[in-house]
Amino acid sequence: MPMTSSIFFPAPAKLNLFLHINGRRADGYHELQTLFQFIDIHDELSFDITDNGQLTLEPSLAGVKDDDNLIIRAAQLLKPFTTDNQGVQITLHKNLPMGGGIGGGSSDAATTLVVLNRLWQCGLDNQQLAQLGRQLGADVPIFIHGHAAFAQGIGEELTPAFPLEQFYLLLTPKVMVSTAKIFNHPNLPRCTPKFASEQYSYEKTTNDCQSIVADHYPEVAQALKWLVEYAPARMTGTGCCIFAPFATLQAAKAVAERCPVQFQARICQGMNRSSLYKKLEELGL
């Protein structure tokens, strides 16, 4: 089907419902366990296929060269699988914070790989796309597979999961956390025992990165201190976003209305299936 810039594809956010660091390998990568679940907020991307062979992105992200942007890098990884002189003009509507721990950049890259694979008719399956995506970031494969998952290893061992699709209050402090800084910190806990996925419960898990981030980013510590008064709050990924689960939409709204002005508050719902694949089905792609 012909594509125009009026058709936007979602790049959904995710939460790490917990994050345990089990050890550090000789190559520097960390062994971890986590549970990924999508939420119903997203960036949006459109793709206009061209025949000039060029890969362009608008608008550019402030402080990020286009060639360093994961969106363009994802398109470059797919380019060898195209025919003729195919290119693309990509338009991005950015809604997810950078450095928030909710996967904005990784999800943008995954949506680019999944959609362009179809529009350019590259013919790759999701396993092949995930292998490409892993070159861009450890979280990219979860967005490509498109289902909530329990992850192990360095994040590449994915087992489909079905956590409750409950409501969350998501707070975004005005700070950007460096993932590399957190994972390289000498005091990061790195010896949490592994457990079987069927033993998971929210109450018995935590985020091993949380204390380090809170120590170095006071805005995150303040958000945690405020939200934990109302619900069992924790950080997602390496931050900066803080979330807490609520049984009902009304309960989440009641707390959101009290949110201090220095934090952006959003009410989200968990999704075990990515909104990207729902959109692709609607379009018959």
Residues 57, 90: Cα–Cα separation, whole Å:
5
Tokens of 114: 């999944």
Catalytic residues: 14, 139
pLDDT tens digits, residue range 15-69? 999 999 999 988 888 999 999 999 999 999 999 999 999 999 999 887 888 888 9
Domain positions in the chain are 9-161+279-283, 167-271
9-161+279-283 CATH: 3.30.230.10
Q: Average per-residue pLDDT in the chain? A: 94
What integer pLDDT is reported at residue 281 of this predicted model?
96
pLDDT tens digits, residue range 203-259? 999 999 999 999 999 999 999 999 999 999 999 999 899 999 999 999 999 999 999
Residues 177, 99: Cα–Cα separation, whole Å:
5
b/e string for 205-216 if b means 16 or more Cβ within 10 A? bbbbbbbbbbeb
Residues 6+ apart with CB under 8 A from 282: none
Residues 167, 183: Cα–Cα separation, whole Å:
29
User: Which is nearest to 246 in space by CA: 255, 238, 234, 235?
Assistant: 255
Domains 9-161+279-283 and 167-271 equal at CATH topology level: no
What integer pLDDT is reported at residue 1 of this predicted model?
43
Please state which of the four CATH numbers 1.10.10.10, 3.30.70.1400, 3.30.70.890, 3.90.660.20 is assigned to the domain occupying 167-271: 3.30.70.890
Note the pTM of the prediction, 2 decimals: 0.94
For the purposes of burial, counting CB atoms within 10 Å of the CB of 217, is it exposed (0-12), middle (13-18) or buried (19 or more)?
buried
